[in-house]
Amino acid sequence: MTHNGKTTNIGILGADGRMGAAVIRAIAEHPNARLTAAVTAPQSTELGRDAGVVSGGSEIGVSLSADLKSALNACDVLIDFSAPKAAIDAALILAGTGHSGRCHAMVSGTTGFTKTEDAAFEAAANEISLLRSGNFSPGVTALSALVELATEKLGRGWDIEILEMHHRHKVDAPSGTALLLGEAAAKGRGLDLSQSQVLSREGMTGTRRDDDIGFATLRGGGVVGSHEVRLASSLEMITLSHDAFDRSVFARGALSSALWLVDQPKGLYSMRDVLGF
């Protein structure tokens, strides 16, 4: 996929994280993508090092920097796997009237936002092309569409429970993917997820409400990502599931999304838009 028939210049925010490194490796393998900026936190011990080496590959001539504004002048699209504050800062710079750089598109896989942060972040889509996703796997995107269809067609009488497991280093819970699947289930049922979600259970919880969407979180080992959506009636149960075997599936999905996004008008997009669901 190309941008006006030319190589697309990519910037990475969160370049020394697990996903940032995976995206850098994906860019190195793509004929129409080039890494031109790699941004990390000011306190990172990787500052100044070559981004290719930090990602586990060979030198590519791009050093890790904490200078976000310079990075946004050096790329066509920014791919973000950082933290909520860093992601919001980048979006506000891109959407600001003082930004005259070449970059006006942002793909973000950052999770863990509060409701207020969510609103502030998505407001940037009024001025830039912004694509958000809790998961860039084509399989998860298909799964979310199936979950929405199933909850819509089955209707009331089927309880919805979501189970997710990730590696022991993941810092937020539930995962962005679990919440993405919860949103799909809520949409199919005509519910507001914020009013229906049950994020934990302990003690004397009482009986389950009809419109609850329950979440269960597991952490351990090196699990890349495992998700199940269970729809249970009094007579039967449906389990829709997805397992990721390698983090590269998310990196390749994020890169494909970035190459697609540079040609789109300003607005808010998702992986379903990229894949045509």
**171-211: per-residue pLDDT in tens?**
889 998 999 999 999 999 999 999 999 999 999 999 999 99
pLDDT at 3 over 80: no
Q: What is the mean pLDDT of residues 119-145?
A: 94
Cite the annotated binding site by residue number: 14-19, 46, 49, 109-111, 133-136, 167, 176-177
Mean pLDDT of 93-106: 83
Decide if 266 is catalytic. Answer: no
CA distance 33 to 85: 27
Kindly indicate the confidence band of residue 37, based on its pLDDT and cuts at 50, 70 and 90.
very high
> Mean pLDDT, to the nearest integer, of 94-120?
87
Kindly list the distances between the CA atom of residue 266 and the CA atoms of 5, 121, 147, 166, 190, in Å, as whole numbers in the listed order: 20, 14, 28, 33, 28
Active-site option among 104, 166, 227, 242: 166
pLDDT of res. 5: 59
Quick one: how far is CA 160 from the chain centroid? 23
Q: Tens digit of pLDDT for each residue in 223-245?
A: 999 999 999 999 999 999 999 99
As annotated, the binding site for NADP(+) includes: 49
- Region 82-100: mean pLDDT is 88
Question: Token pair of 188, please?
Answer: 């199919």
Better-scored residue on pLDDT, 130 or 113:
130
The rounded percent of the chain whose pLDDT value lies above 70 is: 96
Taking residues 136-156, report their average pLDDT.
96
Spatial CB neighbours of 136, under 8 Å, sequence gap ≥ 6:
109, 249, 250, 251, 252, 253, 254, 256, 257, 271
Q: What residue numbers does the annotated binding site for NAD(+) cover?
A: 14-19, 46, 109-111, 133-136
Relative to beta strand 225-232, strand 237-244 is: antiparallel
Per DSSP, which regions of 134-236 are E strands?
A: 159-166, 197-198, 213-219, 225-232
Q: How far apart are CA 185 and CA 179, in angstroms?
A: 10
2: pLDDT strictly greater than 60: no
- Domains in the chain (CATH in brackets) are 8-136+248-275 (3.40.50.720), 138-244 (3.30.360.10)
Check residue 277 and give its pLDDT: 85
- Told to judge if 242 belongs to the known catalytic residues of this protein, a careful annotator would answer no
Q: Which of 170, 187, 227, 266 is catalytic?
A: 170
Q: How far apart are CA 191 and CA 184, in angstroms?
A: 10
